């Protein structure tokens, strides 16, 4: 069965960096686009970034553009989110999610990893 397991969350100071990982299994990872979506405590869902199956095309929300980088290693079935210049407003649970090809929706989500930006 499809499994997405995020890791790498934690507490970081404002201006710091963190790299999240999402280990995928149960499907052909290299064939699917992947998203990062976040949820601040007590708030709604916010789309963060998307990467095509081949890792070439990437898209970002304006709120993270220039600070976050999405990438993937298809040989390791792993999705990444490199987060730099972190701000308090980046505090959230970060979910990775698998897109249904060419459809603009996701059918599987990970359990999420919490990132807290605080001094």
Partner 1 sequence: QSVLTQPPSVSGTPGQRVTISCSGSSSNIGSNTVNWYQQLPGTAPKLLIYTNNQRPSGVPDRFSGSKSGTSASLAITGLQAEDEADYYCQSYDNSLSGWVFGGGTKLTVL
Which one-letter DSSP state was computed for residue 61? -
State the binding string over 54-93 for partner 1 (x if CB under 8 A, else -): -----xxxx-------------------------------
111 contributes a contact to partner 1 by CB under 8 A: yes
Query: Which span sits near partner 1 by CB under 8 A: 9-17, 22-30, 80-88, 107-115?
Result: 107-115
Contact, 25 vs 44, CB < 8 A? Answer: no
3-state SS, residue 96: strand
Alpha-carbon gap, residue 23 to 25, rounded angstroms: 7
Which one, 32 or 95, has the nearer CB to partner 1?
Answer: 95
Name the β-bridge partners of 52.
none
How far, in Å, CA of 56 to CA of 71, rounded? 9
Q: Assess 95 for contact with partner 1 (CB under 8 A).
A: yes
Contact positions vs partner 1 (CB under 8 A): 35, 37, 44-47, 50, 59-62, 95, 100, 103-107, 109-112
């Amino acid at each position: 069965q499809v499994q997405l397991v995020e890791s790498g969350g934690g507490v970081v100071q404002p201006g710091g960096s963190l790299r999240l990982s999402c280990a995928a299994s149960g499907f052909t990872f290299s064939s699917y686009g992947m998203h990062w979506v976040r949820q601040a405590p007590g708030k709604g869902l916010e789309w963060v970034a998307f990467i095509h199956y081949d890792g070439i095309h990437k898209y970002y929300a304006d709120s993270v553009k220039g600070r976050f980088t999405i990438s993937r290693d298809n040989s390791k079935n792993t999705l990444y989110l490199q987060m730099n210049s972190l701000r308090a407003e980046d505090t959230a649970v970060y979910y990775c999610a698998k897109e249904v090809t060419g459809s603009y929706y996701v059918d599987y989500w990970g359990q999420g990893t919490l990132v807290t930006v605080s001094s």
